[in-house]
Structure 1
């Protein structure tokens, strides 16, 4: 059974600027986790704690043109998340990637975000 092993946050560099991404997003992490639970991507508090405590959360800023490509291609979002995971952990995750997309207009934190859940093989 596949287990969630990491979260990859992808943001538009022009919207987030030079802010520390994880610090900017921290006040909203509880809401994001609730969404992940509601979608069934993370099922237990232990799963989330293992990801957070293990440092398996990565955040990347993307150039505007690259981020816009993600907005129209879910496969590209998953492939990008997979590349980020492999580059940071030198491990091969499951090919399944679940994604939540928060458009800037509706995101409570004020910037567009893709939140990808990576799974174990």
Structure 2
């Protein structure tokens, strides 16, 4: 196996860590292997889109989901605040919703120094108990 999978306290959220093979020349790892992903997670999916974002220091990008056309996400942290992720459906902005990033019921220990820089939709996110659910 070329990856380790760890379950979290949040249902359906897994931490997937690739096994890195390195020597004095550098390193190599598989960032994604479909059959192994399915075998280790039990999730059969067809990723349709890859996204990559880079954020300035102290930017917090929110917790987004869609109330129609649910979008499964596989997020890869490359370095620091840089993320690359795959999605199982395309983005439908009219169905996107945001959770309140600092909702205490989520138990997320954000590694922030001061107040984060937020998009308006993230600053106005809803607490989990108030969130609109999939239609």
User: How does the TM-score come out when normalised to structure 2?
Assistant: 0.25
User: How does the TM-score come out when normalised to structure 1?
Assistant: 0.27
Structure richer in helix, relative to its length: 1
Structure richer in strand, relative to its length: 2
Q: Which structure is larger by alpha-carbon Rg, 1 or 2?
A: 2
